[in-house]
Homo-oligomer: A and B are copies of this chain.
Amino acid sequence: MYPESIKSLIESFKYLPGIGEKTAERLAFSILELEDEQIELFSSSLVDVKDKVHKCQTCNTLTENDFCYICSDSTRNSKVLCVVEDTKSVFLFEKLGMFNGKYHVLEGLISPLDGVNPEDIGIDKLLDRIQKEKYEEIIFAFKPSIEGETTALYVKKILDGINIKITRLASGVPIGADMEYVDSLTLERALNDRKEIE
């Protein structure tokens, strides 16, 4: 019914997460409105991303080089390591611009129920790195979840006895949230982690 090329473009958009038939159709038609150069760039960057981007050999952050720009930056604090669950988290923190240490990207979080064990998320590489480089603090910056806690506790247990500070992100009521929409687990955590007003 649709011309062939529109049909395959619609199919392509449907590969993407959260994009169903209707949205894919809308997006495919919107391509017809773009300038030729925009389409060329779109088309080539799709292929480039897969061809050029890979993991940093040290920390697993996505990069086009052997080592990412953070690992290559000697002005950064190499005493603090922030462990995250995916590359996107690195870019989130970098955008924030408040953290000046190093990162380590795991390949997800431990989740025995889903069959994801420590060896599946590259824990060995992290432990190697911690043992080789002399960090003073390891920050676990995972999303607050059972998987996040499990992963943090697992690493903490292995590092037991080593003189290193191990921390996690604070969790609690988000800034600007209405109290009535905060779920009970978050509220419980916010209460337990309450801080003295100074």
Contacts and interface: CB of A to CB of B under 8 A. Distances in A.
Given A16-B30, A30-B17, A88-B25, A3 B53 contact: yes
Nearest to A1: B94
Interface stretch (A42-50, A109-117, A165-173): A42-50
A43 to B, nearest CB: 4
Contacts of A8: 41, 45, 48
B26 A17 contact: yes
Contacts of A38: 12, 15
A5 B51 CA distance: 9
A30 B49 CA distance: 11
B64 A50 contact: no
Given A4-B64, A32-B62, A64-B5, A46 B50 contact: no
Contacts of A53: 3, 5-6, 32
Contacts of A43: 43-44, 46-47
Task: Name the interface size band of chain A.
Answer: 35 or more
A9 B52 contact: no
A39 interface: yes
Question: Which of A3, A9, A29, A91 has the most CB atoms of chain B within a 10 A radius of its CB?
Answer: A3
A177 interface: no
A62 B6 contact: yes
24 contacts: A3-B53, A4-B64, A5-B52, A5-B53, A6-B62, A8-B41, A9-B45, A9-B46, A9-B48, A11-B41, A12-B38, A18-B26, A25-B88, A29-B87, A29-B88, A31-B50, A32-B50, A32-B53, A32-B62, A34-B50, A39-B50, A43-B43, A43-B44, A43-B47
The list of the 5 closest CB pairs from A to B, nearest first, reads A12-B42, A5-B48, A8-B45, A9-B45, A43-B46
